[in-house]
């Protein structure tokens, strides 16, 4: 496939291979962009912003509505692209494609709700002869840097609100999964988006990342990825707006008053969805001691039933990790934890890019897999005595994106909701739940700002005050 710059699909002699991580088969190639391409993409977006900021709300919304319909009409094609270039099974990929249509539809709806307010200037002496209001205007050029684990919907989460708000966008998709983003761009152009409003530039981050991030013409960076990369972007970016969804290490609390079968089933799904390469995936589970053994047995039994295999098989539950390097990293973290005293309840093996769904117990707090984001199919189980102990341990790491609690006691649910230090608390559900229209983001090292379509629109716009001095007003 070609990349989209200056309203044109362009190729380059130097190419990047896109390979299926399951069998390493070549799927397609994309251009390896240069720093000159990065500068051209931003220059195009500057021109595109002059177009997008003058588009009516109706026109922006209609483009997004139509793009959603285009994707819906080719849902299986989008799903197969997601599954082939990434780690998701075909069933997981279909869900992501469906979510993308919802993301674009909600973005279109939210375009009509970018509201301002009148300002009571006469609320302070001296303002009696003034009336006015504020409205929100687009920030300008938005740089969207997206990850591999949701190669379609997380792109839509940035492009949808940016376009709805009247911005122009330069999108840099993950190097290993660029095809879904390019396919989304095709849908947006087919829906009537003016070509210069969106560029999708493919290439290695090391070659073009700094040029894009440091360009002063970029007025906002919307980044989803690792914490280290986020810190580097923050250092390089200069004075511009930033929204960042970074790492996580999501905890779940299971109290002794719940249906353990339902809790185990929910947590297994939350731990191994997309091969655990999921920013809100379950990583640590704190279970009250009275039911710890029962829960562990149920959790392990369900995990052992997981079928790992070719992603396009309809009965496949989990696919490979995105690369063998990532699989080796997870394997090394497991071995380190075991060397420090952890026990493998099931899994723990790697072959190529495949890491078996793994359950660990007795994991010491010094183990990397305890306090860092594993981003792989590994979950740690810990016994606790009380809810207070569970909350304290849940809050003990440097991340705070999602947390969850299973309990039938509404008082304990509210206590956890207010005391867990994170951006979202799921009650009687795993951490792996997200409605695309809810505010989404974290605290501590988990990020800056909030995504979720209404909230992204707030981030991607600025308020402007308009004040009228009327000397004949209120004589």
Residue 325 shares a structural domain with residue 393:
yes
Catalytic residue among 92, 245, 331, 459: 245
Pair (242, 272) in one structural domain: no
What is the per-residue pLDDT across 226-259, written as a single tens digit (0 to 9) for each?
999 999 999 999 999 999 999 999 999 999 999 9
Is residue 361 in a domain?
A: yes
Mean pLDDT of the chain: 97
Q: Assess whether 236 and 308 both reside in one domain.
A: no
Q: Same structural domain for residues 227 and 287?
A: no
Give the pLDDT of residue 475: 64
Do 325 and 24 form a contact (C-beta atoms < 8 A)?
Answer: no
pLDDT at 162 over 90: yes
Q: Quick one: 209 and 111 in the same domain?
A: yes
Closest CA to 154 of 86, 253, 219, 212: 86
Within this chain, do residues 194 and 117 fall inside the same structural domain, yes or no?
yes
Active-site annotation holds for 128? no
In a domain, 432, yes or no: no
Same domain membership, residue 260 and residue 241: no
pLDDT digits (tens, 9 = 90+) for 254-300: 999 999 999 999 999 999 999 999 999 999 999 999 999 999 999 99
User: Is 347 domain-assigned?
Assistant: yes
CATH at residue 9: 3.40.605.10
- 135 domain residue, yes or no: yes
Domain that holds residue 76: 3-246+446-465
CATH number reported for the structural domain that contains residue 278 in this entry: 3.40.309.10
d(CA 412, CA 344): 31
Specify if 473 maps to a domain: no
DSSP string, 175-217: TT--HHHHHHHHHHHHTT--GGGEEE--S-HHHHHHHHHH-TT
Could you tell me if residue 440 is inside a domain? Answer: no
Angle at Cα 199 formed by Cα 7 and Cα 325, nearest 5°? 140
Residues 6+ apart with CB under 8 A from 72: 101
The catalytically annotated residue of 106, 279, 316, 422 is 279
- 438 in any annotated domain: no
398 lies in the same domain as 459:
no
Buried b (16+ CB within 10 A) or exposed e, 391-419: bebbbebebbbbbbbbbeeeebbebbeee
Spatial CA neighbour of 42 closest among 212, 224, 243, 166: 212
- Give catalytic status of residue 373 as yes or no: no
Q: What is the CA radius of gyration of the chain?
A: 24
53 shares a domain with 189: yes
306 and 358 together in one domain: yes
Same-domain check for residues 231 and 124: yes
pLDDT exceeds cutoff 80 at 202: yes
Contact call for residues 5 and 71 (beta carbons, < 8 A): no
Question: Tokens representing 80?
Answer: 């197969």
Q: What's the confidence (pLDDT) of residue 334?
A: 98
254 and 194 in a single domain? The answer is no
- Number of domains comprising the chain: 2
Instruction: Say what percent of the chain tops pLDDT 70.
Output: 100
pLDDT digits 0-9 by tens, 395-423: 999 999 999 999 999 999 999 999 999 99
pTM (2 d.p.): 0.95
């Amino acid at each position: 496939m070609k990349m989209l710059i200056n309203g044109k699909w362009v190729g380059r002699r130097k190419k990047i291979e896109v390979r299926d991580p399951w069998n390493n088969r070549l799927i397609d190639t994309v251009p390896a962009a240069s720093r000159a391409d990065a500068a051209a993409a931003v220059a195009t977006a500057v021109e595109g912003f002059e177009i997008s900021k003058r588009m009516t709300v109706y026109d922006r919304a209609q483009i997004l509505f139509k793009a959603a319909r285009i994707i819906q009409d080719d849902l299986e094609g989008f799903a197969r692209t997601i599954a082939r270039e990434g780690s998701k099974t075909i069933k997981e990929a279909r869900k992501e494609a469906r979510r993308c249509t919802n993301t674009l539809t909600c973005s279109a709806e939210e375009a009509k709700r970018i509201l301002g307010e009148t300002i009571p200037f006469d609320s302070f002496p001296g303002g009696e002869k003034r009336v006015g209001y504020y409205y929100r205007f687009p920030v300008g050029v938005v740089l969207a840097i997206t990850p591999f684990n949701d190669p379609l919907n997380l792109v839509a989460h940035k492009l949808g609100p940016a376009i709805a708000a009247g911005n122009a966008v330069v999108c840099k998709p993950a190097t290993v999964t660029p095809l879904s983003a390019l396919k989304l761009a095709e849908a947006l152009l087919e829906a009537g988006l003016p070509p210069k409003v969106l560029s999708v530039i493919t290439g290695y981050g090391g070659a073009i990342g700094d040029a894009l991030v440091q360009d002063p013409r970029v007025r906002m960076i919307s980044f989803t990825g690792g914490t280290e990369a986020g810190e580097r972007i923050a250092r390089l970016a200069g004075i511009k707006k930033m929204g960042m969804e970074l790492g996580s290490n999501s905890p779940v609390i299971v109290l002794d008053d719940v249906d353990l079968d339902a809790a185990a089933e929910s947590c297994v799904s939350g731990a191994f969805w997309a091969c655990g390469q999921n920013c809100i995936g379950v990583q640590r589970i704190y279970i009250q001691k009275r039911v710890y053994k029962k829960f562990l047995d149920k959790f392990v039994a369900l995990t052992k039933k997981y079928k790992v295999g070719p992603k396009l098989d309809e009965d496949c539950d989990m696919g490979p990790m995105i690369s063998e390097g990532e699989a080796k990293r997870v394997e090394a973290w497991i071995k380190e934890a075991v060397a420090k005293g952890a026990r493998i309840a099931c899994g723990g093996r790697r072959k190529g890019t495949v890491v078996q769904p793994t359950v660990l117990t007795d994991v010491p707090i010094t183990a990397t897999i305890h306090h860092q984001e594993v981003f792989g199919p590994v979950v740690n189980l810990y016994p606790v005595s009380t809810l207070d102990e569970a909350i304290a341990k849940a809050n003990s790491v440097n991340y705070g994106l999602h947390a969850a609690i299973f309990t039938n006691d509404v008082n304990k649910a509210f206590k956890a909701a207010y005391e867990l230090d994170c951006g979202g608390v799921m009650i009687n559900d795993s951490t792996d739940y997200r409605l695309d229209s809810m505010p989404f983001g974290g605290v501590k090292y988990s990020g800056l700002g909030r995504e979720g379509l209404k909230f992204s629109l707030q981030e991607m716009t600025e308020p402007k005050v308009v004040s009228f001095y009327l000397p004949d007003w209120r004589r």
